């Protein structure tokens, strides 16, 4: 799917009279190619402006001079809102059309399973009753998909994966731009979900598709029941995510991270390799690897234990040792 740049600008209400180009998608400043549209609305990403390879960028006029030569500035005082309007043009078309999947070997698939178009299933995979696998999905070899699992379009599942009942892979991330009048405009989620080999996903767990690019679950990771993973998050290999954990969008977990039950992260932060977050811990900023954290906000568990002991002493009217 591609669109004329002039068509895009007319649709979203941005003035443009220059050279026309074909645009095949939308991407971040850092990742966009010469046939993609990008946007800039957050100072955090300003260093990406002079390096971007995008065909055109939605941005305020005061930043236009920072773009590389040949990148077209699309001037607007609401770049994030205009991005949201542009995503409509590249959203996957929703359809009830179905066709038999391509099977790469003998599989055991219940007759009630419904497929979209262009689905590929690896050898030895078992898919139980009531599942749906959407357009352009790939499921690896020797997977086990329990009843009533939903896999939205454009998702990729590795080999030897287990998905338990009610899991939803590739639902829309929670993304909206806001008008000055207070309306919330949906940002259509254009990415997918990529799941590595030997991943297990618990019952009623939800993994959102990426807004731009993929949400990634690396191989060997084990995810418990009732976990929510937000759009564009990246979970490192061999991580353990315990029940009722919530991971906000664009969070990056290193390898072998452990998140205890009902723990959580804010968005756009990083948790280092081999970090452990105790139950009900909340990470509000990036955390170093190789440590154990507890509390709200997350802190070294030794400090948290001392804090709890001090609070108990205060509650009992006792003197706190120095």
**117 alpha carbon, distance to own chain's centre:** 23
Among 146, 153, 231, 268, the active-site one is 231
Instruction: Say if residue 19's pLDDT is above 90.
Output: no
**Confidence (pLDDT) at 142:** 98
Asked if residue 190 lies in contact with residue 87, where contact means CB atoms within 8 angstroms, the answer is yes
Tell whether the model's pLDDT for residue 322 goes beyond 70: no
10 Å Cβ neighbour count for 15?
Answer: 9
pLDDT score recorded for residue 317: 78
CB neighbourhood size of 215 (10 A): 29
Per-residue model confidence (pLDDT) at position 321: 66
Q: What is the model's pLDDT at position 220?
A: 98
Q: What is the DSSP string of 221-260?
A: -EE-TT-EE-TT-EE-TT-EE-TT-EE-TT-EE-TT-EE-
User: For 144-150, what is the mean pLDDT?
Assistant: 98
**Which ranges in the chain are annotated with CATH 2.160.10.10?**
102-302
Dump pLDDT digits (tens) for 265-319: 999 999 999 999 999 999 999 999 999 999 999 999 999 999 998 888 888 877 6
Tokens of 249: 């969008």
pLDDT attached to residue 320: 63
Q: How confident is the model at residue 259 (pLDDT cuts 50, 70, 90)?
A: very high
Please report the pLDDT score of residue 17 as a whole number. Answer: 86
Name, in order, each residue with C-beta under 8 angstroms of 175's C-beta and a sequence gap of 6 or more. Answer: 84, 186, 187, 189, 211, 231, 249
Give the span between the Cα atoms of 193 and 204, in whole angstroms: 17
Residues in a beta bridge with 133:
115, 151
Q: Write down the H helix ranges in 175-317.
A: 301-315
DSSP-assigned beta bridge partners for residue 73: 57
Q: What is the mean pLDDT of residues 97-109?
A: 97
State residue 9's pLDDT score.
97
Mean pLDDT of the chain: 96
What is the spatial distance between Cα 151 and Cα 137, in angstroms, rounded to a whole number? 8
Q: Delimit the CATH 3.40.1390.10 region(s) of the chain.
A: 3-90
pLDDT tier at 173, thresholds 50, 70, 90: very high
Long-range contact pairs involving 253-257 (C-beta distance under 8 Å, separation at least 24): 254/289, 255/218, 257/289
DSSP 202: -
Can you give the pLDDT at residue 64?
95
Tens digits of per-residue pLDDT, 64-84?
999 999 999 999 999 999 999
CATH of 3-90, one of 3.30.750.24, 3.40.1390.10, 3.40.718.10, 3.30.465.10: 3.40.1390.10
Instruction: Judge whether residue 98 has pLDDT over 90.
Output: yes
What integer pLDDT is reported at residue 179 of this predicted model? 96
User: Which of 83, 128, 136 lies closest to 107 in space, CA to CA?
Assistant: 128
Give residue 18's pLDDT. Answer: 87
Spatial strand order of the sheet with 222-223 comes to 108-109, 126-127, 144-145, 162-163, 200-201, 222-223, 240-241, 258-259, 276-277, 292-294, 299-300
Mean pLDDT calculated for residue range 218-226: 98
What does the angle CA 93 – CA 97 – CA 101 come to, to the nearest 5 degrees?
A: 110
Active site residue 92: no
The angle formed by the CA atoms of residues 164, 93 and 41, to the nearest 5 degrees, is 90
- Specify the higher pLDDT residue, 167 or 315: 167
Taking residues 73-100, what's their average pLDDT? 97
What pLDDT is attached to residue 20? Answer: 92
- Which superfamily is assigned to 102-302 in CATH? Hexapeptide repeat proteins (2.160.10.10)
Provide the pLDDT for residue 245.
98
């Amino acid at each position: 799917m591609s669109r004329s740049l002039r068509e895009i600008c007319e649709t979203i209400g941005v003035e443009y009279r220059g050279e026309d180009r074909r645009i095949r998608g939308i991407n971040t400043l850092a990742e966009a190619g010469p046939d993609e549209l990008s946007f800039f609305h957050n100072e955090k990403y300003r260093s990406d402006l002079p390096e971007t390879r995008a065909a055109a960028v939605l941005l305020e006029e005061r930043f236009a001079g920072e773009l590389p030569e040949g990148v077209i500035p699309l001037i607007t005082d609401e770049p994030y809102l205009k991005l949201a309007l542009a995503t409509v043009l590249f959203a996957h078309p929703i359809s009830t059309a179905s066709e038999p999947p391509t099977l790469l070997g003998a599989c055991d698939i219940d007759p009630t399973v419904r497929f979209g178009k262009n689905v590929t299933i690896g050898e030895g995979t078992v898919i139980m009753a009531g599942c749906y696998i959407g357009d352009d999905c790939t499921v690896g070899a020797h997977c086990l998909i329990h009843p009533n699992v939903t896999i939205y379009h454009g998702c990729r599942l590795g080999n030897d994966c287990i998905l338990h009942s009610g899991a939803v892979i590739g639902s829309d991330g929670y993304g909206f731009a806001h008008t000055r009048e207070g309306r919330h405009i949906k940002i259509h989620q254009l990415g997918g979900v990529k799941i590595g080999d030997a991943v297990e996903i618990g019952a009623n767990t939800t993994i959102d598709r990426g807004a731009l690019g993929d949400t990634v679950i690396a191989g060997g990771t084990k995810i418990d029941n009732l976990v929510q993973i937000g759009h564009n998050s990246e979970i490192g290999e061999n991580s353990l995510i315990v029940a009722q954990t919530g991971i906000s969008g664009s969070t990056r977990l290193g390898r072998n991270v452990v998140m205890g039950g009902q723990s959580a992260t804010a968005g756009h932060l990083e948790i280092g390799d081999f970090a452990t977050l105790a139950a009900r811990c909340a990470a509000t900023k990036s955390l170093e690897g190789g440590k154990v954290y507890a509390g709200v906000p997350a802190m070294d568990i030794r400090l948290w234990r001392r804090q709890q002991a001090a609070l108990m002493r205060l509650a009992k009217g006792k003197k706190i040792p120095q």
